[in-house]
């Protein structure tokens, strides 16, 4: 489990006057600062009941000498602290605590000061008239400027295009200069580039479809969720800019005390309870440490049919459950960054693409995390230590840790969350998978090792979880690699296969000594004693997860847990062209679907029994090389 932190806190008002005595709290290091605020508020109940947890300002003390909690002069010492000095650190919203305390600090010292607004909340803050006292005029001024600049103008003229020749794709984005001219930073948009992902346009089309048909669907809004750090807030700002450019009424909630309403007549500030939204309003709400759920005004307007709510949020279920149920909100899981997208974003941000790719393949698809690793080198070391602790929790308490994929918190550093498919129905079902081979190995190490037996034990556990079938597929592939290598196998026995056609020769896959990389260049294969194993690049060789060469056979292997599977003929030609003649000629070619259940193996054989025999035209003859198909069950609990 992530270590528990014991922190000593003192709450003061804006005049540095203490509210009560110093007290102790305990919280896990994988929680974030928004969780810390809630714990502190609960500890101080009922004295802070009039405040939202988001209004608590958390300050980390690192004074030298430190303030002793037993000091008789603690209040005077607090008053003497300069809160603008380097000894006091304002903890950002929604940042994991492990980044500030890896373990519990000295228990004799004061660690946190919590500064709150005046204890008596001004009644006038709840009024809505010309004398309303708002808490941030700069935010409102930026909103008015945005309206005057972009309302009913061409959005496309602001968009730039980045073309990637090797991908033959173009990517749209808003430049740093464009964002600066729109003053979006004053509206809490902290990114320097806004790349318009295809996922954004896909989600936009879904919003249009659902909102236009809401009379029959009765859907009052949509919850855009998914992996943390993949640009959900960026999507909300993209949506805001599109709406304002087309002159459509749009409400925008980013503050805990009011929301903005953009219309033809300008921008207005509304208290959170106000549901006075014109017909056709899109009500945008960004869930964060200050604003957890769409405000009541948005929900009232949704019930009346004048507004459609769009919330962007992390997978934390407490950010959207409740309103989603009672106002018929539709859950929409946004897909993670592909490497192509991450490559382009890194280029636009002038980051090292090579470093970015290494981190992407090692740590997974969270763009925010990957960018921070490059910009803040010290973060990488902290991240690595934290992920190892999470992997230990995940491996040894899998069922307890994954009861609800939407409430897994810090586990997103280990697990990548995806939609279960591309259809609208499947977009509403999240699935998790261990994001990379490196993270998978951390889990296996925490479980007790990477042997076949240990991998099989954990695979059988994870494959039974409805949200982790995708991760089970990845883990099964790792399991197959280990089983075909004597380094991961305890017995060294081969794998007996069942032929699709009765006239195919019998086949047993031998266990090899290890793996060598396989590219499209035969010269890269080198010299080996047979049998030997080759591991292709999955992107370049979609037909083979592994290739085994013996004196009699060339065996291509696909690991799958699905009942049906393709095997493209072009993939066999790629393998043929990539092997030196001495390893490919005068051999029987075999293709084996390795799966985890006898029923799945039978379904795969039935599928390929109905297909024409696969023949390759190679080296001087037409259709002269037959590929024989087989299945193999790699699970002692199952029979082929």
437 in a domain, yes or no? no
**Taking a C-beta distance cutoff of 8 angstroms, is the pair 584, 618 a contact?**
no
358 in a domain, yes or no? no
- Note the pLDDT of residue 498: 95
How is residue 273 written in tokens?
A: 């309870």
Query: Do 477 and 533 share a structural domain?
Result: no
Q: Is the pLDDT of residue 127 over 90?
A: no
The highest-confidence range among 187-201, 409-423, 461-475, by mean pLDDT, is 187-201
Here the CATH number for the domain that contains residue 41 is: 3.10.20.90
Q: How many CA atoms lie less than 13 Å away from 311 in the CB half-sphere?
A: 30
400 in a domain, yes or no? yes
- Note the pLDDT of residue 553: 94
Query: Do 619 and 535 share a structural domain?
Result: yes
Tell which wins on pLDDT, 409 or 476. Answer: 476
Banded model confidence at residue 168, pLDDT cuts 50, 70, 90? confident
Q: Once rounded to an integer, what is the mean pLDDT over residues 576-598?
A: 91
DSSP state of 109: B
Query: Do 185 and 326 share a structural domain?
Result: yes
Q: Once rounded to an integer, what is the mean pLDDT over residues 41-60?
A: 82
Q: Percentage of residues in the chain with pLDDT exceeding 90?
A: 38
Q: What is the CA radius of gyration of the chain?
A: 29
Banded model confidence at residue 459, pLDDT cuts 50, 70, 90? low
Q: What does each C-alpha distance from 116 to 17, 40, 43, 317, 478 come to in angstroms? A: 10, 11, 14, 27, 51
Q: Is the pLDDT of residue 440 over 70?
A: yes
Cis geometry, peptide bond prior to residue 65 (ω within 30 degrees of 0) = yes
- Note the pLDDT of residue 131: 41
- Condensed to tens digits (0 to 9), the pLDDT of residues 95-113 reads 788 888 877 788 778 888 8
**Taking a C-beta distance cutoff of 8 angstroms, is the pair 122, 135 a contact?**
no
Q: Is the pLDDT of residue 292 over 90?
A: no
Banded model confidence at residue 124, pLDDT cuts 50, 70, 90? very low
Q: Is the pLDDT of residue 346 over 80?
A: yes
- Condensed to tens digits (0 to 9), the pLDDT of residues 268-283 reads 999 888 888 999 999 9
**Taking a C-beta distance cutoff of 8 angstroms, is the pair 481, 437 a contact?**
no
DSSP state of 534: E
- Note the pLDDT of residue 244: 98
- Note the pLDDT of residue 133: 43
Query: Do 176 and 82 share a structural domain?
Result: no
Burial class (CB in 10 A: 0-12, 13-18, 19+), 292: buried
Query: Do 278 and 208 share a structural domain?
Result: yes
Q: Is the pLDDT of residue 263 over 90?
A: yes
- Condensed to tens digits (0 to 9), the pLDDT of residues 175-214 reads 999 999 999 999 999 999 999 999 999 999 999 999 888 7
DSSP H or E run through 43? helix 33-43
Here the CATH number for the domain that contains residue 318 is: 3.40.50
622 in a domain, yes or no? yes
Domains contained in the chain, number: 4
**Taking a C-beta distance cutoff of 8 angstroms, is the pair 558, 538 a contact?**
no
Q: How many CA atoms lie less than 13 Å away from 87 in the CB half-sphere?
A: 14
C-beta atoms surrounding 362 within 10 Å: 15
Query: Do 406 and 317 share a structural domain?
Result: no
- Note the pLDDT of residue 450: 54
Q: Is the pLDDT of residue 31 over 80?
A: yes
424 in a domain, yes or no? no
Q: Is the pLDDT of residue 426 over 70?
A: yes
- Note the pLDDT of residue 639: 56
Banded model confidence at residue 473, pLDDT cuts 50, 70, 90? low
Sign of CA dihedral 189, 191, 195, 199: negative
640 in a domain, yes or no? no
Q: Is the pLDDT of residue 543 over 50?
A: yes
Query: Do 229 and 84 share a structural domain?
Result: no
Long-range contacts of 388-392 (CB under 8 A, 24+ apart): 388/442, 388/446, 389/1, 389/2, 389/3, 389/30, 390/2, 390/30, 390/414, 391/439, 391/442, 391/443, 391/445, 391/446, 392/1, 392/446
- Note the pLDDT of residue 401: 57
Q: Is the pLDDT of residue 590 over 70?
A: yes
Query: Do 179 and 107 share a structural domain?
Result: no
Query: Do 62 and 17 share a structural domain?
Result: yes
Q: Which residues contact 403 (CB under 8 A, 6 or more apart)?
A: none
Average pLDDT score, the chain? 83
- CA-CA distance, 203 to 428, in Å (whole number)? 12
C-beta atoms surrounding 220 within 10 Å: 27
129 in a domain, yes or no? no
Buried b (16+ CB within 10 A) or exposed e, 39-55: bbbebbeeebeebebbb
For 13-149, strand residue ranges (E) read 23-28, 57-61, 88-90, 112-115
- What is the helix, strand, coil percentage profile of the chain, to 5? 35, 20, 40
The highest-confidence range among 161-170, 309-318, 366-375, by mean pLDDT, is 366-375
- CA-CA distance, 58 to 75, in Å (whole number)? 17
**β-pair type (495-496, 508-509):** antiparallel
Query: Do 165 and 285 share a structural domain?
Result: yes
147 in a domain, yes or no? yes
Query: Do 512 and 601 share a structural domain?
Result: yes
- Note the pLDDT of residue 404: 53
- CA-CA distance, 470 to 363, in Å (whole number)? 17
Q: What does each C-alpha distance from 549 to 249, 384, 502, 581 come to in angstroms? A: 65, 38, 23, 12
Query: Do 267 and 219 share a structural domain?
Result: yes
Q: Is the pLDDT of residue 149 over 60?
A: yes
- Note the pLDDT of residue 130: 41
Domain, as residue range, for 593 = 495-633
- CA-CA distance, 197 to 316, in Å (whole number)? 23
């Amino acid at each position: 489990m992530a270590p528990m932190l014991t922190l000593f806190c003192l709450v003061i008002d804006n005049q540095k006057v203490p509210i009560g005595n110093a007290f102790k709290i305990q919280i896990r290091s994988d929680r974030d600062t928004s969780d810390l605020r809630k714990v502190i508020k609960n500890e101080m109940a009922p004295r802070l009941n009039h405040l939202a947890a988001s209004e608590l300002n958390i300050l980390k003390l690192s004074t030298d000498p430190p303030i002793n909690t037993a000091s008789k002069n603690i209040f005077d010492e607090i008053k003497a602290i300069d809160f603008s000095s380097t000894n006091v650190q304002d903890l950002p919203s929604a940042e994991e605590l492990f980044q500030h305390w890896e373990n519990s600090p000295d228990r004799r010292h004061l660690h946190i000061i919590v500064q709150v607004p005046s204890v008596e909340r001004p009644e006038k803050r709840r009024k809505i008239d010309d004398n309303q006292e708002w808490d941030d005029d700069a935010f409102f001024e930026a909103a008015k400027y945005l309206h005057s600049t972009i309302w009913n103008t061409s959005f496309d003229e602001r968009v730039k295009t980045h073309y990637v020749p090797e991908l033959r794709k173009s990517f749209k984005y808003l430049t740093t200069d464009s964002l600066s001219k729109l003053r979006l930073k004053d509206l809490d948009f902290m990114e320097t580039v806004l790349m318009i992902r295809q996922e954004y346009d896909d989600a936009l089309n879904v919003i249009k479809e659902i909102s236009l048909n809401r009379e029959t669907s009765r859907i009052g809004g949509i919850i855009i969720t998914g992996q943390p750090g993949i640009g959900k807030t960026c999507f909300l700002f993209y949506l805001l800019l599109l709406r304002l450019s087309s002159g459509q009424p749009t409400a925008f909630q980013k503050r805990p005390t009011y929301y903005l309403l953009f219309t033809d007549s300008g921008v207005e500030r509304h208290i959170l309870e106000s549901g006075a939204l014109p017909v056709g309003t899109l009500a945008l709400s960004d869930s964060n440490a200050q604003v957890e759920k769409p405000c009541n005004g948005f929900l009232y307007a949704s019930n009346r049919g004048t507004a459609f709510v769009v919330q962007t949020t992390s997978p934390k279920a407490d950010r959207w459950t409740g309103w989603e149920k009672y106002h018929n909100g539709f859950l929409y899981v946004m897909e993670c960054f592909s490497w192509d997208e991450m490559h382009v974003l890194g280029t636009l941000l002038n980051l090292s693409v090579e470093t970015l790719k290494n981190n992407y393949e090692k740590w997974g698809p969270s763009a925010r995390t990957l960018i921070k690793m490059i910009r803040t080198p010290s973060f990488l070391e902290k991240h690595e230590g934290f992920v190892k602790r999470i992997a230990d929790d995940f491996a040894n308490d899998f069922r307890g840790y994954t009861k609800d994929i939407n409430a897994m918190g810090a586990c997103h550093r280990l697990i990548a969350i995806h939609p279960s498919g591309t259809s609208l129905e499947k977009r509403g079902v999240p699935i998790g998978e261990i994001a990379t081979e490196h993270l998978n190995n951390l889990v296996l190490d925490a479980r007790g090792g990477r042997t076949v037996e240990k991998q099989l034990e954990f695979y059988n556990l994870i494959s039974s979880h409805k949200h982790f079938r995708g991760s089970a597929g990845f883990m099964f592939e790792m399991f197959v690699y280990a089983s075909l290598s004597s380094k991961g196998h305890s017995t060294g026995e081969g794998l007996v296969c069942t032929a699709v056609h009765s006239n195919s020769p019998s086949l047993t896959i031998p266990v090899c000594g290890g793996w060598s990389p396989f590219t499209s260049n035969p010269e890269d294969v080198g010299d080996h004693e047979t049998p030997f194993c080759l591991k292709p690049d999955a992107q370049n060789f979609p037909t083979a997860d592994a290739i085994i060469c013996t004196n009699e056979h060339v065996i291509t292997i696909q690991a799958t847990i699905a009942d049906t599977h393709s095997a493209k003929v072009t993939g066999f030609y790629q393998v043929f062209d990539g092997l030196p003649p001495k390893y490919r000629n005068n051999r029987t070619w075999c293709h084996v679907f390795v799966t985890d259940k006898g029923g799945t193996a039978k379904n795969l054989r039935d599928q390929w029994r109905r297909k024409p025999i696969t023949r390759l035209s190679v080296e001087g003859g037409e259709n002269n090389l037959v590929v024989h198909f087989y299945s193999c069950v790699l699970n002692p609990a199952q029979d082929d």
